[in-house]
Structure 1
Amino acid sequence: MTTITNKVIWITGASGGIGEALAIQFAALGAKVVLSARREDALEQVRLKMNNADSHLCLPLDITDTSACETALTAIKAQYGHVDWLINNAGLSQRALIVDTTIETDRRLFEVDFFAQLQLTRIALDTLVAQKGKIVFVSSVAGLVGTQYRGSYSAAKAALHMWGNSLRAELGDTGLTVANVFPGFVKTDVSINALTGDGKPLGEMDNAQANAMSAQEFAQKTLAALLKDKNYIVVGGFKERLAAWVSRFSPELLYKMIRKSKVR
């Protein structure tokens, strides 16, 4: 079992939902958590909920801004000296059919869900390798199966997964570990903020999202798997876990299942 007491863990997308729940769980186990997202006030609210609140750091950040990411890493090193874990959790979802989605929206999804994650990882890579640390990419079950209304989101999350696999293959001998986490439906604001075809937020919660597992349950299951050094972690309800399993062993059957499903 890996221990995280006094580990410095940097979490993006930490102002709510999955990121907030993970931060609280990590803090409860004695980690020093760096919280990043765009809204400083929301980050502070999360920090105040955490054990030993004064030992954690809020760093407002737009992960698509390379200069800001470099400045953030400098601030973390000034505070703690290094980073042990990087949790690439920030992301943006989609709720639009492919035929209704503009190329500008496609590019925005890839910028946030793929390119920005890669660049932040590269920026932090030296300190993570030096610490024999861990990088966690929060992908999605949608990135394993490809579903309606999430064409570019699914593609970006799949790309993130594959890039993480390549990073593991290239740097595994250094002691760095790389984990991919695949959430199913989790009750967060992800669908409210999801982009429609013209790039505007959907502005409402999906039924599947509203009836899904809590972010706290997701965080507990994810953290338990990470502490056991699992690197391929699917967390979701029965249907999502079944789809992930079928995607690995029978893609043709998966396609039939997806076609019949009512995903929105």
Structure 2
Amino acid sequence: MYRKVFTNKVFDRKVVLITGGCAGIGRALAERMAQAGARVVIFDLDQNAIDGLVQHLVDHHNADALGLRCDVSDVAAVQQAVALVVERFGGIDVLINNAGITHRSRVAETSLAVFERIMAVNFYGALHCTQAALPSLVARNGQIIVLSSLSQYAPVPDRGAYNASKHALHGLFETLRTELADTDVNVMLVCPGYTATDLRKNVLVGDGSTAPQPALAVGRVASPQDVAESIYQGALKRRQLLVLSNLDWRARLVARCFPRAFEHLLLPRLAGARNTQGTG
């Protein structure tokens, strides 16, 4: 259940654009922002899911909501969709770059096409949306929220392309933050840990096909609602970094400063999870 609902008016009537907004953390964020009084815009690929979520936000949260089918990896489609949002609402106050895909395959067994597709959605998708929305965000002293990953702090095997895309996001948006220092735009990078979403149901494998994969988790698995609430609270405070890792600070410190020790401690647990739950 959401906490502190309707107690803050910061996002009341603000225009919040969420990519990949129909499932998992994206959907939870859409509901949380609607509860806070925001006008919610959803970009996703499944038109039926978009229509259903928009109706849900209207019926259950009395929200002013708009859903658009948009492939964030297509720069022209993004520019057209953002223009429609600005035309309808007058601008964008918050951009949440949430859309993402993943894979499970070793680097040596992963085709170039998979690397390119992961980067097209996870990295270039965020870039396309940010560049298109940036003039409005600057004019409205807005916020950019970027969904990164636990893998920024702790390498996860069989996720080479995914991990690389998340590291690239940090390089891009940390640079953008410095370039926006003379504005009032806030850039917040969010690093969730393992979260109970449907992302694993359409995982790319090395040859580019998709296949459902067993859950792979270390520590407590968070709910999308809990993650969305933490992001909401971080956005209220206009934080720059929000780490919601299932690995505590000691594990993250070991991963960063003593990578070999981290590999010896964590990787056997991951391998054990794969052997127990199926191929990873």
Structure 1 alignment gaps of length 5 or more? none
Does residue 145 (structure 1) correspond to residue 150 (structure 2)? The answer is no
Q: CA deviation at 1:207?
A: 4.7
Which runs of at least 4 in structure 1 moved beyond 6 Å after TM superposition? none
> Contact conserved, 1:144 with 1:158, CA < 8 A, in 2?
no
Q: How many residues align?
A: 262
- 1:22 is matched with which residue: 22, 29, 33? 29
2:173 to 158, 164, 167: 164
Distance 1:243 1:109 in 2: 27
1:225 CA displacement: 1.8
Q: CA deviation at 1:202?
A: 2.4
Unaligned runs of 5+ in 2: 1-7, 272-279
CA distance 1:259–1:208, change in 2 (3 Å): closer
Which of the residues 2, 7, 16 maps onto 1:9? 16
1:233 counterpart residue number: 242
Q: Work out the CA distance in 2 between the residues paired with 1:45 and 1:245.
A: 43
1:260 aligned partner: 268
CA–CA distance in 2 between the matches of 1:105 and 1:226?
33
Aligned to 2:208: 199
Q: Distance in 2 between matches of 1:185 and 1:143?
A: 13
Shift of 1:254: 3.3
* Residues 225 and 90 of structure 1, relative CA distance in 2, 3 Å threshold: same
Q: Which of 105, 124, 138 is 1:115 aligned to?
A: 124
- Counterpart contact for 2:194–2:245, Cα < 8 Å: yes
The answer to whether the Cα contact below 8 Å between 1:181 and 1:234 also exists between their aligned partners in 2 is yes
Once the two structures are overlaid, the 10-residue window that deviates more, 44-53 or 155-164, is 44-53
- 1:41 pairs with one of 18, 25, 48: 48
Displacement after TM superposition at 1:94 (Å): 1.3
Shift of 1:100: 1.3
Does the 8 Å contact 1:36/1:58 carry over to 2? Answer: yes
CA RMSD for the aligned pairs? 2.1
The verdict on how the C-alpha distance between 1:214 and 1:122 changes in structure 2, with shifts beyond 3 A counting, is same
Give me the whole-angstrom Cα distance separating, in 2, the residues matched to 1:87 and 1:70.
Answer: 16
Give aligned-pair identity as a percent. Answer: 32
Q: Does the CA-based 8 Å contact 1:2-1:228 persist in structure 2?
A: no
What corresponds to 1:71 in structure 2? Answer: 80
Instruction: Provide TM-score, normalisation by structure 1.
Output: 0.92
Report the TM-score when normalising by structure 2: 0.87
